[in-house]
Structure 1
Amino acid sequence: MVKIDIVKKQGLFHSFLIKGHANSNELGKDLVCSGLTAITTGFMNSLDNLFPKQTKLLAKQGYVLIKILVNSDNIQLSSKIFYYQLLTIYQQNKQFINWKEFEE
């Protein structure tokens, strides 16, 4: 199961944690993991290129942590787009994803 934790502070996105594996199919045919990996990689690449000093990115096998260190309207907009992409995959695959949102 994939665990997705989204943390907001004062209503603004602060961090995204994505870990685990969906195991929705055999290795190489797991479309849930493939979809999550594709949008997460794209989001991380955009943050790394557009906001390298305002974000902290950590990626390992089956583990991604994205932290927003310095907020801006552009980072929040990018995060909102990422959030809705994740949410779409979650809504269609709830049996493979544990979704939690927190407000700090």
Structure 2
Amino acid sequence: MIKASYLVENGIIQSIEISGHAEYDHSGKDIVCAAVSTAIIVTANAIELLDLNSNRELWIDEGYFKIEVLNNNEIVNKLLLNLEYTLYDLEKQYPKYIKNQKEG
């Protein structure tokens, strides 16, 4: 199962940590893992393309992603909210394979 946790302070996402594998299907055929991976990559690439890298710390590894906000920025927050909404939508469609949890 993929687990996503969100640390939120004063309505602003401070970090998102995502770990695990959906195990919906075999590697290469797992549409849940593919959807989560795509959402993560789109978010990370958008932050980079908008030259907002100084506002975040990022860790990516096999089955693991974490982003921490270093400097609050409205655009970064909206991109992270978009990632959160996407992952909650995926949880509604595939509740056995992804779980979201908010802290703070």
- Please classify the TM superposition score into its range, dividing by the shorter chain length: over 0.9
Structure 2 counterpart of 1:23: 23
CA distance in 1, matches of 2:99, 2:75: 28
Structure 1 stretches lacking a partner, 5+ long: none
Q: Deviations over 1:14-65 (max 9, x none)?
A: 1110101000011111000000000111101112232110011110000000
Shift of 1:97: 1.3
CA distance in 2, matches of 1:7, 1:48: 21
Structure 1 counterpart of 2:44: 44
Does the 8 Å CA contact 2:87/2:100 hold for their aligned counterparts? no
* % identical aligned pairs: 24
Does the 8 Å CA contact 2:8/2:15 hold for their aligned counterparts? yes
TM-score by length of 2: 0.93
Detail structure 1 runs of 4+ shifted over 2 Å in the superposition. Answer: none
Aligned: 1:60 with 2:61:
yes
Structure 2 stretches lacking a partner, 5+ long: none
Deviates more, 1:49-58 or 1:29-38: 49-58
Aligned residues: 103
CA distance in 1, matches of 2:92, 2:23: 17
CA distance in 1, matches of 2:21, 2:95: 13
SS in 2 for 1:53: helix
